[in-house]
Amino acid sequence: MKDLQLSLNQTQKVRLQRALEKLESLASRANSNASVTVADSIPVNYEDGLLKGHGTSEVNGEVVATVCGVVERVNKLVYVRSLRARYKPEVGDIIVGRVIEVAPKRWRVEINYSHDAVLMLSSMNLPDGIQRRRTALDELNMRSIFEENDVICAEVRGFQHDGLHLQARSQKYGKLGRGQLLTVPSYLVKRRKQHFHHLENYGIDLILGCNGFIWVGEHVEVTDDMLVDHKSQQHDTKADKNSISPEDQEKNYTTQQTRENICRTANAIRALSTLGFSITVEVIMETVDLSSSINVAIHEMLGAEFCVLVAEKEAVRRSMTKKK
């Protein structure tokens, strides 16, 4: 395990150790030791037939793991779920990514997969919201939608002959602005029904991308006119970057309270990811509440003391859910 790069003092070390031991005891009761490393043989019952899945291979009639991870069995299928590996896309996943290239009729997007994903111009809604053929003019204006290094949110559409395709056919997808992008290992984000979260009492949006990219930003109302508005405003800023009118500045202004909330939430996620706890909206909110209830300053949330507190809190939370 990655030793936390924190300077813990003696008491903090002991407390962290105790919390982690508690977590371990809770986990080991839940599932019998199914962890394997590379080249460990997996015990299987050959009589009921067998399907070898990902992360396995056969050597001398034995099923052998090829990655480190946890053995999962579904009926006849035996596979190894790897932990620290790159993201493996599944159709319908909601992901956050960064545009790295504007190519003819498509954008190339970095999504922590072994290849770059492709977002076609034809598989996204145009800002004017009208369904029509994409013309050559649209293609020329692609940079007005997304530029290089823009952070976008999209959905995995599927594999085509030229790679992984994304789509953004709804107003909730698209460019993300005024917030922070966080990168966590993708195994910490579970696939759930809901990946978009609007935290009303903080006025922020939280997008947990399945690929381990997490977006924390100011809340944006998802309505058509708002998006058009946003669009025109973008054109304005591009036209005269040097002389931004006061009204525009007013529109672009994020209140300090919101900015602080964004940072607090982002730091909560950072703390959870250094500890290697799975990241869900409930856990994030609990961590944020914990930090504000004990008046921890935002920058102190990355320190050793808060990390230990989060670990202890998580141990308590998991033992509570176990009892229920």
List residues near other proteins by CB under 8 A: 1-3, 20, 23-24, 26-28, 30, 33, 35-40, 55, 57, 59, 64, 66-70, 82-86, 114-116, 187-188, 275-278, 314, 318
**8 vs 83 by CB, closer to other proteins:** 83
**87 vs 146 by CB, closer to other proteins:** 87
Q: How far is CA 305 from CA 104, 267, 299, in A?
A: 51, 14, 12
**What Rg, from alpha-carbon coordinates, does the chain have?**
23
Pairing relationship of beta strands 77-82 and 69-74 according to DSSP bridges: antiparallel
The contacts of residue 52 (CB under 8 Å, 6+ apart) are 58, 63, 78, 79
**72 vs 236 by CB, closer to other proteins:** 72
**83 vs 285 by CB, closer to other proteins:** 83
The least distance separating other proteins from the CB of residue 128, rounded to whole angstroms, comes to: 33
Q: How many residues are present in the chain?
A: 324
Among residues 69, 7, 24, 20, which one has the least CA distance to residue 42?
69
The least distance separating other proteins from the CB of residue 1, rounded to whole angstroms, comes to: 4
As a 3-state breakdown, the chain gives helix, strand, coil percent values, each rounded to 5, of 35, 25, 35
The least distance separating other proteins from the CB of residue 111, rounded to whole angstroms, comes to: 11
- DSSP state, residue 6: S
- Report whether 107 contacts 209 (CB < 8 A): no
**59 vs 91 by CB, closer to other proteins:** 59
CB atoms within 10 A of CB 229: 13
**204 vs 266 by CB, closer to other proteins:** 266
**80 vs 220 by CB, closer to other proteins:** 80
**89 vs 174 by CB, closer to other proteins:** 89
- Report whether 179 contacts 259 (CB < 8 A): no
Structure tokens at 228: 């058009």
HSE-up of 188 (CA within 13 Å, CB side)?
23
The least distance separating other proteins from the CB of residue 157, rounded to whole angstroms, comes to: 19
Structure tokens at 94: 């909601």
Q: What is the rounded distance in angstroms from the CA atom of residue 322 to the CA atom of residue 324?
A: 6
The least distance separating other proteins from the CB of residue 272, rounded to whole angstroms, comes to: 10
Q: How far is CA 238 from CA 111, 140, 315, in A?
A: 27, 16, 50
The least distance separating other proteins from the CB of residue 276, rounded to whole angstroms, comes to: 4
The least distance separating other proteins from the CB of residue 141, rounded to whole angstroms, comes to: 27
The least distance separating other proteins from the CB of residue 91, rounded to whole angstroms, comes to: 20
The contacts of residue 226 (CB under 8 Å, 6+ apart) are 220
